[in-house]
Amino acid sequence: MPELPEVETTRRGLAPHVEGREINEVIVRQPRLRVPVPGDLVDRLVGARIGPLSRRAKYLLLPVEGAAPATLLWHLGMSGSLRIARLGEFPRKHDHVDLVLDDGAVLRYHDPRRFGFVDWLAGSVEGDSRLARLGPEPLAEAFDGERLFALSRRRRLAVKPFLMDSAVVVGVGNIYASEALFLAGIDPRRAAGRIAKERYHRLAAAVKEVLAAAITQGGTTLRDFVGGTGEPGYFKQRLNVYGRHGEPCRRCGGELRLVTLGQRASVFCARCQT
């Protein structure tokens, strides 16, 4: 599943190609996504101009400036990607939505599993129910060890699913939670409420370090993901634990173990993470 670094990589890759461009045509080949494509999307978008792209958690926000300014809310789901194609480039299977721009570029949405969506927000972005209850961005100053410690008190939930709770902090999915816990030396099975403040400060710093490195490397290509320009991410080459169960720990040489937490596979080193 595309996580925060993949979505941020997509935003950065698309921005130079779409910001300020006028939408000449909208092509919807498959409207039956996780959220059905709005039936009036074509009428709303043709002739509108795309403003500065932004990201909130794993959502891409494309403001459109027309007669009724609004925002396209895009989620890549499990296997979705947005990339730039050229007018006349034959669509592949699972290319579901095209925004044809005034310079001949095409913003093309590809999603084999159709778990993603594009939706129309006519009102305030902050008031949308999908965004209103989200926690802070992990790279923002509002996210730190003090927040993790305060929210974890008396919580029996294991620390890994606690860290992946979007009300605690957004965008820390399975891959990057596993990697951050390894860097911080914390066993993912440990109860969130039984971790000291000092260790939470290390964990918050590790989250920031892992995500910043992943964004620099263009994300982690595992199956379908490519960035906005069609290039894969390379952070997979730096993974310490995720997807490496049974292999030796890069730090101590011990065998990495696999457990299930919150219905998600979790790989860790029992020697380095306590």
Annotated ligand binding at 94? The verdict is yes
* Residue 117: Cβ within 10 Å count: 21
8-state DSSP, 199: H
Determine the Cα–Cα distance for residues 28 and 37; give it in Å rounded to an integer.
8
Residue 58 is a catalytic residue: yes
Annotated ligand binding at 75? The verdict is no
Residue 2 is a catalytic residue: yes
Q: What is the phi-psi region of residue 185: left when phi exceeds 0, alpha when psi lies from -120 to 50, beta otherwise?
A: left
Which residue in 58, 83, 160, 199 is the catalytic one?
Answer: 58
* Residue 177: Cβ within 10 Å count: 26
Annotated ligand binding at 113? The verdict is yes
In 3D, which of 266, 264, 267, 265 has the Cα closest to residue 254?
267
Structure tokens of 46?
């043709």
Residue 232 is a catalytic residue: no
Residue 16 is a catalytic residue: no
For residue 115, give every residue at least 6 positions away whose Cβ sits within 8 Å of its Cβ, in sequence order, or none: 33, 34, 77, 78, 79, 80
Which residue in 12, 114, 264, 271 is the catalytic one?
Answer: 264
Catalogue the active-site residues.
2-3, 58, 264
Annotated binding-site positions for DNA: 94, 113, 155
